Amino acid sequence: MSQTLTLGHSPDPDDAFMFYAMAENLIDLHGYRFEHILQDIQTLNERATRGELHITAVSIHALAHILDKYALLSSGASMGDGYGPMFVSKTGPDASAGDDERKAWLQGKTIAIPGEMTSAYLAGQLFLGPNFPHIVVPFDEIFQAVHSGQAEVGLIIHEGQLTYGKEGFVKVLDLGEWWKRTRNLPLPLGGNVIRRDIPVEIQSELSGILRDSIAYGLAHRAPAVTHSLAHARDLDTPLADQFIGMYVNELTVDYGETGRQAVRQFLQEAAEAGLIPAVSDLQFVE
């Protein structure tokens, strides 16, 4: 197979941090070259349904639709461990409101979402029900969609989780916090997948390279964060570092048993709710 491999990931500080060592040739790449393709997660999900890239970041939601073409790597997870995508609006329910009151407050409102194959949307459906009114907006235009009145609520991902307050919004519900409180598991948001037509031994070798890249970034945090700042929209260094810490950690190096259980439960609940096809046997490339 070709020694140059396409590697898709989103233009965000956590992904930039993850692939820093690979982009800068700071680890042994075993003779492979990687063409880094930076696109938003919804676009990467759509490309994965067509099997276009050798390795790519995808939403965990998308897994149910691409497992005929891709296998899930054991490293590269983005997990919201008590935090995650959130519903925000210009006003919201009382701070002491419970889940049922928040659900009732959201009911019937038009919500701007970052893509119908994102894990944020799937988690939102599990909380609110499958048919909530929504419009699809690029993730970095959701605040504007709410400000302009196109939508009453935004479902925000990425760095918006840290900047919504200064943008003039209040949190209605954090889906990662809700998931942790009700399931006692992190909310699985994204992962890295590899094409199944790549020989198994090469899949394993490439999986090791990605794991080494993540581990290198965590071991050389300051230069890796500096490298990531080019992709940190509206984040200063401390906020970028905080955001990276939320989504690149030990669960990213390897899902572990907790991460594996989280992925299986998320997909099982979504399938039982009729939101995705059933995933019978989820394998991780070690």
Q: Return the percentage of the chain with pLDDT > 70, whole number.
A: 99
**Ranges assigned E (strand) in 85-133:** 86-89, 111-113
Find out whether 13 and 238 touch, Cβ atoms under 8 Å.
no
Rounded to whole angstroms, the Cα distance separating 160 from 224 reads: 21
Q: What is the reported pTM?
A: 0.93
Q: What is the pLDDT of residues 131-171, one digit of tens each?
A: 999 999 998 899 999 999 999 999 999 888 899 999 999 99
Instruction: Give residue limits of the domains in the chain.
Output: 4-79+187-285, 86-183
Find out whether 85 and 178 touch, Cβ atoms under 8 Å.
no
Options 1.10.287.110, 3.20.20.140, 3.40.190.10, 3.90.1530.10; which CATH number does 86-183 get? 3.40.190.10
CATH topology classification for 4-79+187-285? D-Maltodextrin-Binding Protein; domain 2 (3.40.190)
Cα separation values, 132 from 107, 166, 182, 189, Å: 7, 27, 21, 20
Rounded to whole angstroms, the Cα distance separating 12 from 222 reads: 17
3-state secondary structure of 277: coil
Q: Please indicate whether the domains covering 4-79+187-285 and 86-183 agree at the CATH topology level.
A: yes
DSSP lists the bridge partners of residue 36 as: 7
* pLDDT number for residue 3: 80
- Which contiguous run of DSSP H or E holds residue 218? helix 200-219
What token pair was written down for 103? 């659900």
Q: What is the pLDDT of residues 99-124, one digit of tens each?
A: 999 999 999 999 999 999 999 999 99
Mean pLDDT (the chain, rounded): 94
pLDDT band at 2 (very low <50, low <70, confident <90, very high): low
Q: Which residues are catalytic?
A: 158
